[in-house]
Amino acid sequence: MGREDSHYRPEGVDGRGSGGSTSGRVPVPGAHPSDRSAPPGPGAGQPPSGPVPPAWPGDPRNTGRFPDVNPPGRPAAGSARVPSGPPPAAGSARVPPPSWDAPGTGPGQVHRAGQGHVYGAAPVSPSAGPVFPAAGSVPVSPPPAGAGPLAPPPPAPRRRRRLLPVAVLATVLLLVLAGVAVVLRPGPVAGWLGDDAAGPAAAAQVPEPDPSPVLAGPDANAPLPTAAGVRAAVEPLLGAAALGSRVNISVADLTTGQSIYARGGDDGTVPASVTKLATGVTVLEARGPGYRIPTRAVAGANPGEVVLVGGGDPTLAVDGKGFYPGAARLDTLAKQVKQALGGTAPTKVVVDSSLFPGPVHGPGWDDDIPTGGYGASITALMTDGARSDPEAARKTFDDTHGAAERVPRPDLTAGRSFARLLGLGGDAQVTPGTAPPAGGAAATGAPAPGTELGKVESLPMIRLVDIMISDSDNVIAEALARQVALARNQPASFVGGAAAMDEVIGELGLPAGEISLSDGSGLSRNNRISPSLLTDLIALAGKGDHPELGAIFGGLPVGAWSGTLGDRYRVDATEAGAGVVRAKTGTLTGVHAIAGLVTTAEGRLLTFAVLTDRAPAGDSDVSRQALDRIAGALAGCGCR
């Protein structure tokens, strides 16, 4: 799951990717020359495999939202690539519409800043939050509930940037104290995987930090860096030996979408786990932030038979000891089934995971991924991300970087757990199958075949995306890619998910010719994304045209503070990025990537992406630090 940053292979990457089969889809411009031949057609039963072309003006896919979308091709540096529109006033909060309200989440359950769990048992109401960034700003996550006192900033800091993590935390508290009517979702922080959310009393014990001058946040009116300034800051760092022979980069302004600097910006590059940004944006667009994935139980063909129907929720738990706190639970579903059956005793469990057809392992995955602890067999029914021991995996998460043993047949494992909860015992018959259609004749006193006996639902999509991005959860990513496929009437498979994600990218007015995917997690070496598409994607999510897309920012790790960046930006060479770099990372052997947001020394919020897929095999920490130097250089300069 977690960090593919810790998943290494001895072989390098030749620029095309290695291992697995080809995706059967058109590579983006700039990929390996031999990839530019005409693509093979889709196999029998597979959806059309070519990427969706970018939307032109007048194309019905624009749906009137982006009438000024440019045709395919790269605008010159200094022009905006992202569909434009008047940004909201600086400092204004964009609140999702009431339709995002989660079932069963009332005003009394809404958490204020610092209260509650990042994805614990008492969720924040999506209708009341999150607060998305105004133009030129970035969402801020509060500290974990019950955190110890925050030390006041030193009187004479050696560098201003070292104090910005404190500034971020203090800003959140100041917003609440000032009476600003906003609700903030707790952000992803290491150690928030505990069983229970902290209560209001614990949060109230956090003292108010000193409102010092370092609280100044990103400024939409701050000076815009110049191409020459950015070039001078980053180009000396792009030649680092640890990054290899091909380093592609794009830097753009978040407020305007204006491209500032690019080198190889249009070139398709292996993105590794940075792919999850595309997965998050497309599933939020396709399903919406409030969507919950159902898991159902229906009556089988014979009295006493119960069919457990997987809907694709990878976080489903057996009971209260599951890996993902707040997840839907099979013990809850079992209680519903027993009540619905009345006097009919359960006799058999049939497992229906037919919603996800096709291979369970992705094309282009390294051979050891299915057994290496970071991937799993992707089935429509599973519990705890297919972990064999979810309770132990939670305890060792930090030490193993999220790696955990996975079961070979997640659907049957879930079925056996469900059978035990129904009281069938360890030798109960559990078989794969499909649910019968509803409306059949019923035996006396028994529910008719196909009758729904119970249903539980996942956490809201907004929070699944948070977990996927903050923890780099590969299994969740693959499940969410299939949700995009289902929403676009594609097969919920690796091929269907990739095709549907391409389709949504085109619907958003972004250049779909610059992305070619084989999976949703980034484990596939066949994936290609251009750095410029990534900066476009992030800039679009930060604008007001699609407020639902701003949910991707809540899970972005923060330099020297949270997620996969929690232990980075802590040395002199990169410390300028501490607290002001918020980005998704990606690593495979020979592949290193980072994409996200950075605030310059003068307060301008930029989006950036740096990808390299020909790095030398060796110490990946050195390669990651080379990327961090680039982001730190953007943070430490006004670049004018």
Look up the pTM and report it.
Answer: 0.72
At residue 38, the 3 state secondary structure works out as coil
C-alpha 22: how far from chain center? 24
pLDDT at 253: 97
- Residue 342 in any domain: the answer is yes
pLDDT in tens, 76-112: 444 455 544 443 343 333 333 333 333 333 322 222 2
- State the first-to-last Cα distance of the chain, in angstroms, to the nearest integer: 41
**Cα angle for residues 19, 20, 24 (degrees, 5° grid):** 125
d(CA 7, CA 575): 25
pLDDT at 442: 65
Residue 371: both structure tokens together: 């057994």
Given pLDDT bands bounded at 50, 70 and 90, which one contains residue 371? confident
Give the highest mean pLDDT range of 6-10, 365-369, 514-518.
514-518
pLDDT at 440: 67
- Residue 463 in any domain: the answer is no
Count Cβ atoms below 10 Å from residue 580 Cβ, excluding itself: 30
pLDDT in tens, 402-412: 999 999 999 99
Of 267, 258, 153, which is closest to residue 215 (Cα–Cα)? 153
H or E element, residue 298: strand 294-299
pLDDT at 527: 98
- Residue 201 in any domain: the answer is no
Q: What is the mean pLDDT of residues 596-623?
A: 95
- Residue 491 in any domain: the answer is no
pLDDT in tens, 226-253: 999 999 999 999 999 999 999 999 999 9
Residue scoring higher pLDDT (118 or 545):
545
- Residue 153 in any domain: the answer is no
β-strand pairing of 294-299 with 305-309: antiparallel
315 contacts 396 by C-beta, under 8 angstroms: no
pLDDT in tens, 159-189: 333 334 434 434 433 333 333 333 334 333 3
pLDDT at 248: 99
- Residue 199 in any domain: the answer is no
Has residue 486 got a pLDDT over 80? yes
- Phi/psi zone of residue 305: left (φ > 0), alpha (ψ -120 to 50 degrees), beta? beta
Residue 491: both structure tokens together: 């097969």
How many residues in total does the chain contain? 640
At residue 94, the 3 state secondary structure works out as strand
What is the Cβ-side half-sphere exposure of residue 431, based on CA atoms within 13 angstroms? 8
d(CA 285, CA 99): 14
Has residue 49 got a pLDDT over 60? no
**Cα separation values, 535 from 493, 511, 521, 597, Å:** 27, 12, 18, 9
Mean pLDDT of the residues in the chain: 76
d(CA 411, CA 434): 12
**Cα separation values, 63 from 47, 83, 388, Å:** 24, 13, 46
H or E element, residue 593: strand 591-599
- Residue 362 in any domain: the answer is yes
Give the highest mean pLDDT range of 151-155, 289-293, 428-432.
289-293
pLDDT at 190: 35
pLDDT in tens, 204-230: 444 544 443 433 456 778 999 999 999
Residue type, 366: D
To the nearest 10 degrees (0 to 180), the angle between helices 474-487 and 461-471 is: 140
243 contacts 615 by C-beta, under 8 angstroms: yes
d(CA 200, CA 189): 18
- Residue 419 in any domain: the answer is yes
521 contacts 498 by C-beta, under 8 angstroms: no
Of 323, 330, 339, which is closest to residue 406 (Cα–Cα)? 323
d(CA 111, CA 96): 16
Has residue 7 got a pLDDT over 70? no
Torsion of CA 227, 233, 237, 243, to 10 degrees: -50
The domain total for the chain is: 1
Cis peptide before 314 (omega within 30 of 0): no
What does residue 585 show for φ and ψ, rounded to 5 degrees? -110, 165
H or E element, residue 608: strand 605-612
pLDDT in tens, 539-574: 999 988 899 999 999 999 999 999 999 999 999 999
Of 325, 317, 312, 303, which is closest to residue 421 (Cα–Cα)? 317
479 contacts 469 by C-beta, under 8 angstroms: no
Residue type, 456: V
Identify the domain containing residue 310 by its residue range. 294-458
Residues forming the active site: 273, 276, 472
